[in-house]
Structure 1
């Protein structure tokens, strides 16, 4: 079954090029589309410190449908696309938890969103710690190395 998603907004003021590190201090706006959301769609959102932003990697290709070395680094193991968070996803969907700095009507200011300027935003959800993993989280060592300077 095919699904079509209408973007609800656009990332503004973020990076222009896909550089995969140091996103932690990146602050940008998400401008929500009045044709997609009523004026009160953000009511109560400012009570949260963080949001999950679902967006489209609109400038990547679907070059990886199987396995690859993360970031092309041969010292890291070859792992499947579903075992990493590379932007060349099968469906070009990104998900990031980021700090919610401000809400001004249909404009959100966020920090730490690893999306490029102009990226389509598909959805925004308030971050609830109850949805975070319960118990110990296990990750491979290569991903710890990769993420060392990401945020």
Structure 2
């Protein structure tokens, strides 16, 4: 298998200085603002992004401790396979968040509904398009019994480095 390496294209700035206390999904981070600073060499790639109200940020969980294949997720007291969770400690610590794009000024994106730790390395940006991204689902696994906890669940530090 070949080695895969990604290089950050920017940095995400938010009010959250550590993982503990961060909302665990952007859907419950209503009104939390941040900035996405795209490195100048990638700024040309922002052309026409301002036509979208929401974007998908893909980033590296830089503060996550090494992952285990079995994890106890935030909204449940039982262990689950890491791929049945959105825990940040995983074999490839990649995160995704859908955020509202407020405006773009040069290479800085002003965003809202942010559930990301300050100074998180940005790997990619994609436009959020409901016709592409929304699916009708029949089941949501173990979360079906726990999703009601989402509005008040915050990162408690269990997946953070030391």
Q: Distance in 1 between matches of 2:76 and 2:126?
A: 33
CA-based RMSD of the aligned residues comes to 2.1
Deviations along 1:55-92, whole A, 9 cap, x unmatched?
1100111132x222213852xx3211110111112111
TM-score, L = length of structure 1: 0.85
Deviating beyond 6 angstroms after TM superposition, the runs of 4 or more aligned structure 1 residues are none
> Secondary structure of 1:70's match?
coil
Q: Could you tell me which runs of 5 or more consecutive residues in structure 2 were left unpaired when the two chains were aligned.
A: 155-162
- The alpha-carbon deviation at position 132 of structure 1 amounts to 1.9
Q: Does 1:17 align with 2:18?
A: yes
Structure 1 residues 145 and 59, CA gap change in structure 2 (3 angstroms): same
Q: Could you tell me which runs of 5 or more consecutive residues in structure 1 were left unpaired when the two chains were aligned.
A: none
Q: Quick check: 1:23–1:150 contact (8 Å CA) kept in 2?
A: no
> Secondary structure of 1:148's match?
helix
The size of the alignment, in residue pairs, is 146
> Secondary structure of 1:125's match?
strand
- The alpha-carbon deviation at position 114 of structure 1 amounts to 1.6
- The alpha-carbon deviation at position 40 of structure 1 amounts to 2.7
